[in-house]
Structure 1
Amino acid sequence: MPAVDKRQNIENIYPLSPMQQGMLFHTLLTPQAGVYVPQVCLNLEGKLDVNAMQTAWQEVIRNHAALRSAFYWEQRDKPFQVVFRQVEFPWTFLDWRELSYKEQQARLEE
């Protein structure tokens, strides 16, 4: 994806909704709780086309503004959210196929 000027990459700016303000408050109050950090673990069987998976997720992000949004609150009078036009999916690929199940679980816990 080509580099885009940060200002030109902004699609919209919104104030936080009351629900978002509450979520931000609780997250900042107890960040270790991870209450508002949804996580999904999948077990995929068969041969995985990693490039196709990465491309598919990038397309999902491109099509859903909520996945291209960030919240800003530090050094601001009021928190707000910015929706970006383009966001690069931060993809890290780790191949653990050669590890035992126990080793895989230990690394996952790390």
Structure 2
Amino acid sequence: MPTLFERSTPNPAGYRDVAPKDVAAAISGARLVDVRDPAELRGELGHVAGIENVPLARLDDAAFSKDEPLVLVCRSGRRSAQAAAALSAAGFRCIMNMTGGMIAWNEAGLPVQR
């Protein structure tokens, strides 16, 4: 069975796009990283259970392996796409951006923690 990364859609910026429902179905198949500020995780959109919070401004300080699969999440997918492009440009090989961010996750009725 293909991995979450293999099933995701290639993006010209070097990372892959993945739908929230696919992330939810394969949640143990990648490290989930939310690039929003900590206060946003407690806000109305909440966050995915077990997510690691690494705000976009601190992404350079994070200790990620260049080979581990990472799914980046934010509010709408914009900041996480920016983070995904930066990590891909830095040589990370299994970077995914959750399209639509937590807005799309909530719209899909997936479980949220607040």
The answer to whether TM tops 0.5 is no
- Normalised by the size of structure 1, how large is the TM-score? 0.27
TM-score by length of structure 2 reads 0.26
Larger Rg: 1
